[in-house]
Each structure stands twice: as structure tokens, then as C-alpha cells.
Amino acid sequence: MRGTLVSLRCKRTALCFMGRGIRLRFARRIELGDYGMIGDGVILSGLGRDGLQVGTRVNIGAYSRIVVGTDLGRPGSYIRIGDDCGIGEYSSVGGSGGVSIGRNTIIGQHFTAHPENHNFRDLSRPIREQGTIRQSILIGEDCWLGARVTVLAGVTIGEGCVIAAGSVVTRDVPALSIASGIPARIVGTRREDGRADN
């Protein structure tokens, strides 16, 4: 009942299940799919060009932040989460440069996605005054990202990939690859022939 009532504030009404203390910001830019589960204390914000789209049967763990943008003067781009995805507790996804997560992807706790980087080359100015570069993040369908994975701006993770817990993904990962480390490197493949894409 609580989930359906809260969803009345969103772009469309959804039959979903919501925990306590959920905060919606710019709710008219948020589209929730049916049968989702949003955990306690989650923050959802649709401040961005294309807002926040959450597919059907998506599970977002407690105390996560799914925030397209925070700056009224420079709104974010978008966050799109495909059907049947799961995102673990205490995760943080920013959508300033755009983030897309494909269907059936599962993500562990404390996941972070950062689709923008700060400029820092000018030594005469504080870093906070030098602006940012925004680049989208694309995570394919049917991936598994372990706990505490971080994905940085401009990265594409192909479909069917496995990213080991604690990895920091700084460059593209081909489909069906297994990657691990800081920075993440390909350590294996899920292909039967053992060959990775180039």
C-alpha cells in the first residue's frame, strides 16, 4: 500500500513495495516499474534531462542513492535500470553523465557509479572550480558485479560480464569477460572456447 501511494507522486503509478523513510526528489521525472522493491531509506532523484527510469521487478537495497543530478543549474542526464535488476544495499549511482544498467543484472552492496570526472590540471585554481567532464556508463544485460565495485566515467561493460568484488573499472570490459582488480583487468572469460572479445 505504501509503495503504490508513494508512486502516485511519480511519472506513473506503479504497484511496488517500498520500505520506510524513502525520499523522492523531482518525482515527476521518476518512472517506476511494477512489482519493484525499494528498501528502507533509499533516495531516488530524477533531476536530469531524461530523469530516472526503473524497470519492472527491480530490487534496490536499503540506504542506496539513485540520483540523476543534484545541481539545478546543471541537471544530470539519466539513469535507466532494466527489468529484473538487483542493486545491493548502500549503493550510490549518479546520473550526471548518464548511466544505463541492462536487464537481469545483479549488483552487490556498496556499488558506486560515477559518470563524471573533475578537471584538475590548472594549478592556479582550486579543483572544485575547474568543472567536470561527463561521460556515460553502460552496463550490459545479465552481468554480475560483486560488492564494493566502482565503475568510472566513460566505461562500457559488455553483456554477461562478471566483475569481482572490490574492483575499480576504469576502462571497457568486453562481453562475457571476468574482470578483477584495481584497476580491473580481464582475468578470464565465460565463453566455452575460452576466447575474449577484442
Report d(CA 32, CA 171) in Å as an integer.
30
Strands 112-114 and 99-101: unpaired
CA 11 vs CA 22, 30, 53, 180: distances in Å: 17, 6, 10, 38
* Max CA separation in the chain (angstroms): 55
Report d(CA 108, CA 61) in Å as an integer.
9
Q: Which of 118, 125, 171, 190 is catalytic?
A: 118
Annotated catalytic residue 118: yes
Backbone angles phi, psi at 120, to 5 degrees: -150, 10
Strands 150-152 and 132-134: unpaired
Catalytic residue numbers read 118
